[in-house]
Amino acid sequence: MVSSSQTWYSAVDWLSPQLCRRASGAPSSRHDGERYEWSRIYVGEFEHGVLTATCEFDVEFEDQAFAYAEERNSGA
């Protein structure tokens, strides 16, 4: 459990009007002051301006995230 958390996007790359990939971080802290941070890559799909699907990847799997985004962008 954390007492506060923020999310920020360090990069957003729109591959098409319906598909983006983004890198994000989420620094957080607990009541006792201990700090945490999560970093992730997300691939998001949109329809009529509404997010309809998202897939989350650990940053260690950046290549797989980019390959997945390219696959979804090509309609495969």
For the stretch 22-42, pLDDT in tens is 998 888 888 888 888 888 999
Q: What is the pLDDT of residues 35-67, one digit of tens each?
A: 888 889 999 999 999 999 999 999 999 999 999
What are the residue ranges spanned by the domains of the chain?
4-73
> pTM score, two decimals?
0.78
Question: Two tokens at 2?
Answer: 């954390």
CB count, 10 Å around CB of 73? 16
Burial code of 33-47, b = ≥16 C-beta within 10 A, e = fewer?
A: eeeeeeebbbbbbbe
Q: Does residue 76 register a pLDDT over 70?
A: no
Spatial separation of the C-alpha atoms in residues 65 and 19, rounded to whole Å: 13
Q: How far is CA 64 from CA 13, 43, 61, in A?
A: 16, 11, 5
